[in-house]
Amino acid sequence: MAFYFGDESANTASLGNASDFMFGFGGNDRLSGNGSNDVIDGGDGSDTLDGGDGNDVLSGDHGDDTLLGGAGHDGLDGGSGDDRLDGQAGNDILLGRGGADRILGGAGDDIILGGEGNDKLRGEAGDDRLYGESGDDTLNGGSGTDTLNGGRGNDVFDYDALSDSPGFEETSPLVVRDNIIGFDGRGAALGDRIDLSTIDANREVAGNQAFNLNQLTYSQGILTATVIGFGIPGSLDLQVRLVGNPPLDLVGQTNDIIL
């Protein structure tokens, strides 16, 4: 095992393939663990921490930090400040804590917690669990069967593509739709909302067409958005399950869907 302790200046350090313990103290540090299972704490300052391969534990502590997990099953804690966390490969646990954080899960089945602040959480590949916690957060599970919980605040559940939560016929054994927990839309601008505005709702017309109300249904807790296009009916559906079958306003001027 190798140990590294910085000082109050801006430190740059990269150790070898042994399991490393690194502490940056003050300054804007750049600390890289490379191989094996590393523990890296940036201390004060706006730090960049890269765990590299192995199952690493990274802590940004104070400041606006960037944490990169690399390969392996990592634990990333941004601490205070507006941090950027990227778990990259592996089944990671990522915690934003204070500040307005941007957190990416990367490949693998990740657990992402935004903490305080207005955070942007994106699971990317894998079956991820996203928790916005406090603040007005934006959650995007990416591909896979994801579980999204905005927590307190007026949260947006963002869907960029049909592959984020594809719908299938009821007879299909493939059920990969996302689950949203604790949705509270209220049918108003204040409250949780589901954003479908990035998805092209009509592939027979050039450009990015918005969904109309005839393409949306909500029944028994399942929101279905049907894209007009060529191919098998139902193959171009996006489906999202709202756990507990909460009310969902599809028709009001300030409805719960961003089209």
User: pLDDT averaged over the chain?
Assistant: 90
CA distances from 186 to 86, 87, 219 (A): 33, 34, 17
Q: Of 88-92, 203-207, 249-253, where does mean pLDDT reach its minimum?
A: 249-253
**Domain range summary for the chain, segments of one domain joined by +:** 1-153, 155-259
Beta bridge partners of 238: 166, 225
Interval 130-159: pLDDT, tens: 999 999 999 999 999 999 999 999 999 999
Report, in angstroms and rounded to the nearest whole number, the Rg of the chain calculated over CA atoms: 21
pLDDT band at 10 (very low <50, low <70, confident <90, very high): low
Asked whether the predicted pLDDT for residue 191 surpasses 70, the reply is: yes
Structure token digits, residue 187: 């049918």
Asked whether the predicted pLDDT for residue 16 surpasses 90, the reply is: no
DSSP 8-state secondary structure symbol assigned to residue 233: T
Q: What is the pLDDT of residue 87?
A: 98
